[in-house]
Amino acid sequence: MEQDNLLRQLLLLGIGTTALVVDKVREVGDEWVQNGRLRPEQATALINDLVGRLGQTGAWEVQARRQMRDILRELGLASQTEVDELRGRIDRLERQVRDLENRLWS
């Protein structure tokens, strides 16, 4: 659960950073248009291209998840799947112990 929360926080941080970058690029684009460095259509194309590239969050999200999983592995933390498997094994072992105890006391 904590891993998911950390990942969500990182993704939200990335989204916030992306929004700030887009705003800054728009400011710079407007400034360049005012200074005559770019024509308005060039600035629009530049901004649209950047937003399109930044908007491809699917690939970025997959990469972020992969990196987060690798970091957590390096730290020695178990994945949710591993924890679930261990819980299942513990449940089975507890049942076996109860069954053995019941046989001994019967």
Q: What is the pLDDT of residues 24-38, one digit of tens each?
A: 888 888 888 899 988
Cα angle for residues 46, 52, 56 (degrees, 5° grid): 150
Is the per-residue pLDDT at 9 higher than 60?
Answer: yes
Q: How far is CA 30 from CA 16, 46, 50, in A?
A: 21, 11, 15
User: For residue range 61-89, what is the model confidence (pLDDT) as tens digits?
Assistant: 677 778 877 887 888 888 888 999 999 99
- How much of the chain exceeds pLDDT 90, in percent? 23
User: If pLDDT is split at 50, 70 and 90, which confidence band does 92 have?
Assistant: very high
